[in-house]
Amino acid sequence: MAGPRAKKKKPSKAKDPIVASLEEALASHFQTRASIKEKRGQKGTIEVDYHDAEVFERIFEAMTGRPVHEVVG
């Protein structure tokens, strides 16, 4: 039996097929998992996972066009 503080799960909403396609394109481009979280008012968050420093640096350079060492010295 769940206590009074047990979290209730929200019913999962089906992902918009356009958003799913965009996530797949990001994941393919960055060669790692990527997700798009939509919020109200046409706002949201894009998350790109990385598993180690090398992957982070590759993603950073793909996003900015600059290697990490140019930014942090």
Strands 34-38 and 44-48: antiparallel
- Domain that includes residue 21, residue range: 17-72
Contacts of 22 (CB under 8 A, 6+ apart): 36
Element spanning 36, H or E: strand 34-38
Q: Is residue 47 part of a domain?
A: yes
Residue 3 pLDDT grade (very low, low, confident, very high; cuts 50, 70, 90): low
Residue 47 pLDDT grade (very low, low, confident, very high; cuts 50, 70, 90): very high
How confident is the model over 45-71, as a mean pLDDT?
A: 95
* Number of domains comprising the chain: 1
- Grouping H, G, I as helix, E, B as strand and the rest as coil, residue 56 is helix
Q: Is residue 45 part of a domain?
A: yes
Residue 15 pLDDT grade (very low, low, confident, very high; cuts 50, 70, 90): confident
